[in-house]
Amino acid sequence: MAHEDDAQQAVPNTPGALGDGVTRRRPLRERHVEETVEVAVPVRTAYNQWTQFKTFPRFSAVVRGVEQIRPTVTAWTIGYGPLRHRFAVEIVEQDPDAYLAWRALAQNPSHQGEVEFRLTESGGTAITVRMLLEPQGAARILTRSSRAARLTARLVRGELVNFKEFIEGLGREGGAWRGIIRNGRVQHDHPEPPRSRVAQWPVG
């Protein structure tokens, strides 16, 4: 797992408008992929369902499973056919109904990304996903190619369309987690009871 100092380097300060006066820390200095889809449900509904990570295998073409490791860390298993790849992801920033940023904790390959939720004129939600791949060694050459970027963009676009069909078919969220995360840490409005040392995250 990454140390807090690593997170400071990976998530540079950039301005962001937050109602609580806090400066949002965005993870992406640049991006390799950006895709947007509009869904015909309110922002709150889209955001609430997105935070139910364990439901991703129900609509995703590549996600096979999601396991909660810590309040801000999940382990994702992705793959096609018999091929599988498992990696840990840390949520570094999260603002209800607005924004979520993550980074993979694996060193090779690694990636980071963000998803934004915006109200549309029709009362629906525009969901934008941005991703930056950060492979090491010879793999860097591959991901710099326009073909690799197009393939990744096509995959992200397909997953967004799958989510759109899923949430519009449901018509409402199947659950929600509406906490705030700053620099990889859950922000608590009230002290946790002495008997509880681990924040609970209902993800599915």
- The pLDDT value recorded for residue 111 is 82
User: pLDDT digit string (tens) for 160-188?
Assistant: 999 999 999 999 888 888 999 998 899 97
User: pLDDT digit string (tens) for 33-76?
Assistant: 899 999 999 999 999 999 999 999 999 999 999 999 998 999 99
Q: Which two tokens stand for residue 75?
A: 């382990």
Distance, in Å, from the CA atom of 89 to the CA atom of 84, rounded to the nearest integer, reads 16
Q: pLDDT > 90: what percent of the chain?
A: 51
* Close Cβ partners of 69 (under 8 Å, ≥ 6 residues apart): 75, 88
Closest CA to 101 of 13, 196, 173: 13
- Find out whether 115 and 99 touch, Cβ atoms under 8 Å: yes
Distance, in Å, from the CA atom of 128 to the CA atom of 103, rounded to the nearest integer, reads 16
Backbone angles phi, psi at 6, to 5 degrees: -65, -40
Question: In Å, what is the CA distance from 153 to each residue of 28, 102, 147?
Answer: 16, 18, 10
Side chain identity, residue 75: A
5: helix, strand or coil: helix
- Find out whether 11 and 188 touch, Cβ atoms under 8 Å: no
Distance, in Å, from the CA atom of 71 to the CA atom of 92, rounded to the nearest integer, reads 11
pTM of the model: 0.74
Distance, in Å, from the CA atom of 7 to the CA atom of 104, rounded to the nearest integer, reads 11
User: pLDDT digit string (tens) for 132-158?
Assistant: 876 555 445 555 556 767 888 899 999
Quickly tell me which residue has 């490791």 as its tokens. Answer: 69
